[in-house]
């Protein structure tokens, strides 16, 4: 498969995964391994920073797995910048998934605070991966302040509803100069494949794997779906054939 480059890192897998909602650390580790994912998000608030033997971190300690701390739980730009700095120190990475959701019910991202925080974090040397609404203008604004990718949502987080925002995702993908990673809402492998067919550079899946009956098998299914979707995108999908409407000729004046 063709590789994906974000900042200075190259990824062979276009499936990013998360660490939340698994029934055990052991199962989580197995599922992540089966997914072949090379970028795994961890919620900073869940990591026991002072404990070097943190169980969760230990169980995903694989050479090919990069940790992507997220700022989940913060409510504004100030808190996000603080959390990111903490994560950089604790996990020794300058990569940060920027999530600011002041709304505890739907966990919808705050676009204004996200843009502010992204600008600040880029200045502080972070590789910023912002989680946002599927808002094409916001994506361009984030690109301008130096975000290394954008992570628009497919549907509200944890809903498994799929790509409810596909019309906007298409615009974002068409316009973006940085990788577009579809985040949130992907509930099944077919959703992931669809995102890849649309031309997304990667997808991030957590809940759909973690809460399935068999997370390991599901992780494999997602891996295959993402690969199939990407392959289909590269091979250029056939599209729906429309029949031309019969009407008077428009080019007869050329004869």
Partner 1 sequence: MNKTFQTLFDTYNWDETLASINSKTAHDVEYALSKTKRDLEDFKALVSPAAAPYLEQMAHMSKMTTKKRFGNTIQMYVPMYLSNECQNICTYCGFSMTNKIPRRTLTDEEILKEVAFLKAKGYDHILLVTGEANKTVGVPYIKHAMELIKDQFSNITIEVQPLDQHEYEELIEANLYAVLVYQETYHRDEYKKHHPKGKKSNFDYRLDTADRLGKAGVHKIGIGALFGLEDWRADSFFTALHLKYLQKTYWKTKYSISFPRLRPHSGGLEPKVEMTDRDLVQTICAFRLLDEDVELSMSTRESEVFRNNIVHLGITSLSAESKTNPGGYTVDPQTLEQFEISDERSTELIAEMLKESGLEPVWKDWETFN
- Closer residue to partner 1, CB minimum distance, 48 or 174: 174
The reply to whether 207 sits in an annotated binding site is yes
Interface residues with partner 1 (CB under 8 A) are 140, 144, 170, 174-177, 236, 238-242, 244-245, 247, 249-251, 253-254
- Closer residue to partner 1, CB minimum distance, 38 or 119: 119
How distant, in Å, are the alpha carbons of 44, 87, 89, 124, 235 from that of 226?
Answer: 27, 29, 33, 33, 14
Q: Which of 21, 97, 123, 236 is catalytic?
A: 97
The reply to whether 94 sits in an annotated binding site is no
Q: How far is the CB of 245 from partner 1 (least distance, A)?
A: 7
Contact (CB, 8 A) for 125 and 94: yes
The reply to whether 206 sits in an annotated binding site is yes
Compute how many other C-beta atoms are within 10 angstroms of the C-beta atom of residue 190.
14
- Closer residue to partner 1, CB minimum distance, 18 or 136: 136
- Closer residue to partner 1, CB minimum distance, 16 or 194: 194
Q: How far is the CB of 59 from partner 1 (least distance, A)?
A: 41
Look-up of token digits 């509200």 = 156
How distant, in Å, are the alpha carbons of 8, 135, 185, 218 from that of 93?
Answer: 13, 28, 27, 29
CA angle 178, 143, 233 (to 5 degrees): 25
Compute how many other C-beta atoms are within 10 angstroms of the C-beta atom of residue 82.
13
Q: How far is the CB of 134 from partner 1 (least distance, A)?
A: 16
CA–CA gap between residue 17 and residue 38 (Å, rounded): 8
Dump strand ranges (E) for the chain: 4-6, 9-11, 15-18, 39-43, 66-70, 95-98, 127-132, 151-152, 181-183, 202-205
Catalytic status, residue 123:
no
Q: How far is the CB of 181 from partner 1 (least distance, A)?
A: 18
Q: Return binding residues for 1-deoxy-D-xylulose 5-phosphate.
A: 158, 184-185, 206-207
Residue positions forming the annotated binding site:
158, 184-185, 206-207
Q: Indicate which residues carry an active-site annotation.
A: 97
């Amino acid at each position: 498969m063709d590789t994906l480059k974000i900042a200075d890192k190259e990824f062979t897998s276009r499936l990013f995964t998360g660490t939340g909602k698994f029934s055990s650390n052991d199962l989580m580790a197995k599922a992540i391994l089966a997914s072949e994912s090379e970028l795994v998000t961890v919620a900073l608030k869940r990591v026991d920073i002072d404990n070097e033997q943190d169980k969760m971190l230990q169980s995903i300690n694989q050479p090919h797995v990069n940790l992507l701390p997220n700022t989940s739980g913060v409510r504004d730009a100030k808190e996000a910048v603080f959390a990111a700095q903490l994560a950089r120190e604790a996990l020794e990475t300058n990569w940060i998934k920027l999530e600011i959701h002041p709304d505890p019910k739907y966990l919808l991202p705050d676009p204004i605070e996200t843009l502010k925080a992204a600008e600040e974090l880029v200045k502080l040397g972070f590789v910023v991966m912002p989680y946002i609404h599927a808002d094409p203008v916001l994506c361009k604004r984030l690109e301008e302040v130096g975000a290394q990718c954008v992570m628009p949502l497919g549907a509200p987080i944890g809903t498994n509803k799929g790509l409810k925002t596909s019309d906007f995702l298409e615009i974002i993908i068409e316009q973006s100069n940085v990788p577009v990673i579809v985040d949130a809402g992907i509930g099944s492998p077919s959703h992931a494949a669809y995102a890849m067919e649309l031309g997304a550079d990667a997808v991030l899946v957590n809940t759909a794997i973690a809460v399935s009956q068999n997370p390991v098998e599901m992780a494999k299914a997602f891996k295959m779906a993402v690969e199939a979707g990407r392959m289909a995108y590269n091979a250029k999908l056939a599209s729906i054939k429309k029949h031309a409407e019969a009407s008077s000729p428009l080019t007869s004046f050329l004869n």
